[in-house]
Homo-oligomer: A and B are copies of this chain.
């Protein structure tokens, strides 16, 4: 097996396995939601097929695409259609070279903020660690062309947050690899829920900007000797 084939196979296995985290944390229902991962060192990414039950996802039915979102013919899984969000994932990989993983869900609390078009304010220290400030809102965009991908990139490019709430839609997260993007999706729903609940009975106390900066900086740097997706 060539190095490229080995990298593709490892990415297939990782992306397939990570989907279990979406069901474990209740971020998805039925066949909704999707994860993709860039193949290291190649202009390729691996993504969930469309309409396959979470119980049946496996390395061999993940779908290999180029960075325009075209399925690579003749590869395992290529007889199926990739996720209907493939164009958005591809747009992100083409335009954000440091991104190695993308996740999309309609997780309940994040989508509730998205339906109001309201950013999640950074009022808990774990959110400062992970997102470095608020989780922003991206534009209303219809599926089917590049408009979702453009909205994600326009909102997240240069932003500390690895999560964006797409208005009236759901959440997209990015990461240095697929696991990091999944962690961002899990953390995003957690802070969306906690801060929603906090606000139901009053106004959460703000965290001073310099404390947010210190927390984010420490989390990115002091812990820098380890893979970021593994902290705590």
A contacts, CB < 8 Å to B:
25, 29-34, 50-52, 81, 83-84, 106, 108-109, 111-118, 123-126, 140, 142-144, 167-170, 183, 186-187, 190, 193-205, 207, 211, 214-215, 218, 222-223, 226-227, 230-232
Contact = CB atoms under 8 A, between A and B. Distances in A.
Contact of A142 (B200, B203, B215): B215
Contacts of A214: 142
Given A84-B232, A201-B116, A108 B226 contact: no
B187 A226 contact: no
Nearest to A109: B197
B183 A30 contact: yes
A126 B106 contact: yes
24 contacts: A29-B186, A30-B232, A31-B231, A50-B230, A81-B226, A84-B231, A84-B232, A106-B190, A108-B193, A109-B197, A111-B198, A114-B124, A115-B123, A115-B194, A115-B204, A115-B205, A116-B201, A117-B205, A118-B201, A124-B168, A125-B143, A125-B170, A126-B169, A199-B201
A115 B124 CA distance: 6
Of A109, A204, A226, most buried by chain B (CB within 10 Å of CB) is A204
A203 B116 CA distance: 6
Contacts of A222: 144
Given A214-B142, A218-B143, A232-B30, A112 B51 contact: no
A198 B116 contact: yes
A167 B204 CA distance: 10
A221 to B, nearest CB: 12
Contacts of A114: 124
A193 B126 CA distance: 20
A116 B215 contact: no
A190 B143 CA distance: 20
Nearest to A208: B140
